[in-house]
Structure 1
Amino acid sequence: MAIAVLVVGERVAGESPDVTFELLGRGRELADALSGELAVVVVNDLDEGAQFGIADVLYVVDGMDSASYSAPQWEAAIGAVIQRVSPQVVLVSTGTVGIDLAGALATKFNAPLASYVIDVTAQGDKLVVTSQLYGGKLLSEGEIDAFPAFVSVLPGSLPVEKGRAQGSPRVEHIDAGDQLRLSKGRGTELREPDTSGVDITSAALLVSVGRGIGSKENLELVAELAEAMKAPLSASRPVIDQGWLPKPHQVGKSGKKVKPTVYLAFGISGAPEHLEGMRSAETIIACNTDPSAPIFEVAHYGTTLDLFDLVPELTDIVGG
């Protein structure tokens, strides 16, 4: 049976990120709809397929300098696998690796590419993809009827658990030495981003702020509450885009997915990409003066009080 879908598996600090399993779960559905096999390709993998049980085939590229991403080497190595197995669809993440790799490979194979995808399905002999535009403010649906097709999916858009299904894929090792020798450039080191000393993903309580705060100077108001509650301060994308807080504080599809026991949201309207990052919180408490704000659709408790009146009162109560 021919390979219908090839998932490009990533490795971060020696582990497979959630997005790889998101791609595998949807890849399984696409492969079944296209009456072909699901394959995943990894670089210097040490697990021999144990964690990729949902796939029919695991291709392991041997001989790379490192499992860390290196644009010229990955383009050469993954390109060699695509050349060999001729998949109909190649799934990558719209992340550090995918944004760079997908465009290069699509150009290499003169193939269509859909980016910032949040959903992809097979309908007959074509793919239907839904992509985010303008940072999630607009959704666009399109069709692809030329193959191979490259689809770059936003992390956090698809379910993770289905992709973790148990199984035993066939394992095939591929030596891309010839292609690698022709590639120019090598990855030398992986530099972790500055986390500003905060890990919002592990917090049991988060105090989060949105565009409703108005200005950077007003952040201090909510920061004082967060400090009194001994909780990290997080934010929606507009706050980060304005440069009022560093990127590690961002909650949402283009930031971090969080699952605290309590999520306090002040001045957050509730854009889809933000809700995707925090809707799994056990208790969501929202404060927004607009009673029709989307945040109230997921909040367990809410108020339309002005945050500039409410937050100082809460700070006094907690601090007292």
Structure 2
Amino acid sequence: MSVAVLVVSERVVGEVPDVTFELLGKGREIASALGGELAIAVLGHQVGELPFGAADVAYVVDDPALANYAASAVEAALAAVVEAASPKVVLMSTGTVGLDLAASLAARLGAPMASYAVDVATEGDTVVATSQLYGGKLLAEVALEGSPAVVSVIPGSFAADAGRVGGAPRIETIAVSLDGAGARGEGVREPEASGVDITAADLLVSVGRGIGSKENLELVQELADALKVPLAASRPIIDQGWLPKPHQVGKSGKKVKPQVYLALGISGAPEHLEGMRSAGTIIACNTDPKAPIFEVAHYGTTVDLFDLVPELTERL
């Protein structure tokens, strides 16, 4: 049986992230529809024993050049795996590896590509992806003609449980020369530790792009101080440098599960929802009534946070 779907493991350091199992779960569904096998690509050095989840076959490239992440080396290794597997679909996450390599891999292969996908399906032998545009305000459905079709999926779009179902995949070791692959990674720098542990809080006040500017953070910080809880944030706040990395909730930040999660000015991108959707009670404040955050919130208001927060702080 030929390979129908190849899932690219998102692992850069540490454990295999949830999004890889999300892709394996969806990959199993697509592989069954296309009548082929589900494969996973594992790239690294001294990878050891890793969970391959629902995969039928694992293609492993183990090379010193992959000890630390470097786009050129990983792309060359991944291209070798695709050549060996000949999949109909390549699934990657819109994370470190997918953002860096999906487009360049598709160009290298001359393959059709869809990015920021929130769903992947089949119509006969054709792969159909549904992608977000304008931060999720529009969805575009596109049929990807040609093989392989490269699709980068937004983390949190699928359930991970189906992809965790373990089996005994056969291991295919791919030998590839990476001596001329270009730059090599020298190491990984972790963000500096801080005294904040947002994962341990029973209640979190979290702020997003709607706060407008760094100066306005003080308003929300006063509310968090009145509640005696940490201040968390969505990725745009961290990317702007307004709060340190340990405050970030989401796919590329931390997963939190407080009893109460107060989301202020957060639109609710899938990357963020992945990190907080398990909270006991989610309370959202966003002036856009169609913001995705309201799809998971238990309570919500469209009042302006600049009117709401001072009132809450005063009452507290």
Length-normalised TM-score, structure 1: 0.84
Query: Aligned ranges for residues 1-320 of structure 1 at < 5 Å?
Result: 1-43=1-43, 44=45, 45-47=47-49, 51-176=51-176, 179-193=177-191, 198-210=196-208, 213=211, 215-236=213-234, 244-245=242-243, 249-251=247-249, 257-268=255-266, 275=273, 277-287=275-285, 295=293, 298-302=296-300, 307-308=305-306, 310-312=308-310, 314-315=312-313, 318=316
The secondary structure found in structure 2 opposite 1:180 is coil
Greater CA deviation, 207-216 or 167-176? 207-216
The letter for the 2-side match of 1:264 is: L
SS at match of 1:181: coil
Spell out, residue by residue over 1:201-256, the C-alpha distance to the aligned partner (whole angstroms, 9 max, x if none).
45332102345545543321220121232322123566567765456545456765
CA distance in 2, matches of 1:304, 1:110: 46
Gap change, CA 1:170 and 1:246, over 3 Å in 2: same
| One-letter identity of the residue aligned with 2:226 | A
Distance 1:149 1:201, change over 3 A: farther
Distance 1:17 1:289, change over 3 A: closer
Taking a change above 3 Å as real, the CA distance of residues 203 and 140 of structure 1, as seen in their structure-2 partners, is farther
Cα 1:27–1:201 change in 2 (3 A) is: farther
CA distance in 2, matches of 1:36, 1:96: 28
Instruction: Please tell me whether the aligned partners of residues 289 and 305 of structure 1 are also in contact (alpha carbons under 8 angstroms).
Output: yes
**1:103 is paired with a residue of what secondary structure?**
helix
Contact residue 265 and residue 287 of structure 1 kept, 8 A:
yes
Q: What is the deviation of 1:290?
A: 7.5
* Greater Cα shift, 2-11 or 244-253: 244-253
**Aligned equivalents of 1:20, 1:251: Cα separation in 2:** 19
Distance 1:257 1:37, change over 3 A: same
> Counterparts of 1:220 and 1:36 in 2: how far apart (Å)?
55
Inter-partner Cα distance in structure 1 for 2:216 and 2:230: 17
Contact kept, 8 Å, 2:21 with 2:53, in 1: the verdict is no
Report if the CA contact (8 A) 1:136-1:273 is conserved.
no
How far did residue 306 of structure 1 move?
6.1
Contact 2:68 2:184 in 1 (8 A): no
State the secondary structure of the residue aligned to 2:65: coil
C-alpha separation between the residues in 2 aligned to 1:139 and 1:64?
41
The DSSP-based 3-state class of the residue aligned with 2:54 is: coil
Q: Is the 8 A contact 1:237 1:250 kept in 2?
A: yes
Deviations 1:63-87 (A, max 9, x none): 3334432222212211111112211
| In structure 1, distance between residues paired with 2:289 and 2:129 | 33
The alpha carbon displacement at 1:301 in A equals 3.8
SS at match of 1:129: strand
Write the letter of the residue equivalent to 1:300. Answer: H
Q: How far 1:150 sits from its partner (Å)?
A: 0.8
Give the drift of 1:7. Answer: 1.0
Name the aligned partner's letter for residue 27 of structure 1: G
Matched residue SS, 1:65: helix
Q: Deviations over 1:87-109 (max 9, x none)?
A: 11111111121122222221221
Alignment-mate amino acid for residue 70 of structure 1: A
Larger displacement relative to structure 2 (232-241 or 63-72): 232-241
**1:174–1:310 distance in 2 versus 1, CA, 3 Å:** closer
**Aligned mates of 1:83, 1:66 — CA distance in 2:** 19
| Structure 2: distance between partners of 1:128 and 1:304 | 35
Deviation by residue 1:112-148 (Cα, 9 ceiling, x = unmatched): 1111111111121111101112222322111112111
CA distance in structure 1 between the aligned counterparts of 2:292 and 2:62, rounded to whole angstroms: 48
Counterpart CA distance in 2 for 1:274 and 1:62 is 32
Looking at structure 2, the residues matched to 258 and 94 of structure 1 have their Cα atoms a distance apart, in angstroms, of 21
Q: Which runs of 5+ in 2 are unaligned?
A: none
